[in-house]
């Protein structure tokens, strides 16, 4: 059994055997991957939804809503022309806050953010979902490493005034980090743009939710 590869019989070196072998292995691999995908697709989608919910709950505090945040998102055309999914915090049918994604152009690539804004246009919270900034410098935008990102809480387009929505180096009100200016500049810009987006679409975003349920037990919104 030890030396099978070495003393291989002649048929093993023929093309049909090799083709058959490769074909069989490919089929088995494909079948295994298909089964693996089928078995894990459901759980992975659930985990993704849980992750999204966990991120949303950081920018839309649970006190202000009584709905399932993932249940009835809005879709609006975003700044870049791509559709933007907006998650709404509802108290009854009243919109108390919205959360949506934003992208800043960081030093080493896009910085993806999630921003929560209440119905009055105040920032409820901003969180970085993913980035590829320099470790040790730019990664202070993550809430687990630094509380810098919390400095947006409660801010509006008027506080600070629009021209001071920038990092200190650019004459604004937000601190930058030692050795990293581009990263916080990108985040400040993305938060400001999100507030502007909210201001532009305030009517649509805060209109009482019309939820069409297929369940006849549900009360019809007035």
Partner 1 sequence: MKPPETPGYGRIARDGLWDNNVVLSQALALCPLLAVTGTATNGLGMGIATTVVMTASGLLIALLRGLLSAAVRIPIFVLVIATLVTLVDLTMNAWLHDLHKVLGLFIPLIVTNCAILGRAESFAARQPPLPAAFDGLMMGLGFTLVLVGLGAAREIIGSGTLFAGASLLLGPAMGFLEVTLIPEYRGFLLAILPPGGFLVLGFMLAGKRLLDRRLANRPRRKVSAASATTPPR
**Cα atoms in the 13 Å half-sphere on the side-chain side of 196:** 12
* Smallest separation (angstroms) from partner 1 to the CB of 5: 5
What is the Cα–Cα distance from 71 to 135, expressed in whole angstroms? 36
Site string for partner 1, 104-143 (x = CB under 8 A): ------------------------------xxxx------
Query: Does the footprint of partner 1 cover residue 94 (CB under 8 A)?
Result: no
Cβ proximity to partner 1, 33 vs 208, nearer residue: 33
What is the Cα–Cα distance from 167 to 170, expressed in whole angstroms? 5
Query: Does the footprint of partner 1 cover residue 5 (CB under 8 A)?
Result: yes
Query: Does the footprint of partner 1 cover residue 37 (CB under 8 A)?
Result: yes
Report phi then psi at 167, rounded to 5: -75, 160
Closest CA to 100 of 117, 90, 110, 86: 86
Site for partner 1 in 165-184 (CB under 8 A): 178-179
**DSSP state letter for 146:** -
Return the range that interacts with partner 1 (CB under 8 A); candidates 15-23, 62-70, 182-190, 209-217.
15-23
Query: Does the footprint of partner 1 cover residue 1 (CB under 8 A)?
Result: yes
What is the Cα–Cα distance from 72 to 30, expressed in whole angstroms? 37
Instruction: Give the residue, chosen from 16, 36, 80, 104, that forms a contact with partner 1 under the rule CB under 8 A.
Output: 36
What is the Cα–Cα distance from 103 to 109, expressed in whole angstroms? 10
Local structure of 185: helix, strand or coil: helix
* Smallest separation (angstroms) from partner 1 to the CB of 144: 8
Query: Does the footprint of partner 1 cover residue 33 (CB under 8 A)?
Result: yes
Query: Does the footprint of partner 1 cover residue 25 (CB under 8 A)?
Result: yes
Cβ proximity to partner 1, 36 vs 109, nearer residue: 36
Q: In angstroms, what CA-CA distances link 90 with 61, 62, 77, 124, 195?
A: 11, 10, 21, 14, 19
Query: Does the footprint of partner 1 cover residue 29 (CB under 8 A)?
Result: yes
Query: Does the footprint of partner 1 cover residue 13 (CB under 8 A)?
Result: yes
Query: Does the footprint of partner 1 cover residue 68 (CB under 8 A)?
Result: no
The answer to whether the Cα torsion of 191, 90, 158, 148 is positive or negative is negative
Interface with partner 1 (CB under 8 A): 1-6, 8, 12-13, 17-18, 21-22, 25-26, 29, 32-33, 36-37, 39-40, 43-44, 47, 50-51, 134-137, 178-179
């Amino acid at each position: 059994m030890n030396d099978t590869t070495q003393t291989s019989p002649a048929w093993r070196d023929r093309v049909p055997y090799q083709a058959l072998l490769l074909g069989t292995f490919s089929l088995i691999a494909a079948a295994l991957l298909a089964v693996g995908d089928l078995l894990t697709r459901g759980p992975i989608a659930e985990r993704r939804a849980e992750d999204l919910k966990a991120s949303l709950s950081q920018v839309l505090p649970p006190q202000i809503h009584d709905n399932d945040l993932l249940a009835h998102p809005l879709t609006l055309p975003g700044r870049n022309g791509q559709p933007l999914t907006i998650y709404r915090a509802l108290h009854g049918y009243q919109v108390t806050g919205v959360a949506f994604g934003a992208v800043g152009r960081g030093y080493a690539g896009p910085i993806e953010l999630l921003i929560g804004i209440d119905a009055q246009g105040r920032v409820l919270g901003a969180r970085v979902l993913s980035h590829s900034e320099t470790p040790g410098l730019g990664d202070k935008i993550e809430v687990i490493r630094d509380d810098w990102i919390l400095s947006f809480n409660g801010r509006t387009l008027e506080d600070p005034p629009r021209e001071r929505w920038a990092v200190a180096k650019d004459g604004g009100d937000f601190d930058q980090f030692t050795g990293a200016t581009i990263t916080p500049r990108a985040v400040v810009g993305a938060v400001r743009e999100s507030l502007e987006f909210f201001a532009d679409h305030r009517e649509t975003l805060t209109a009482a939710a019309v939820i069409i349920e297929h369940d006849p037990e549900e009360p019809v919104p007035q």
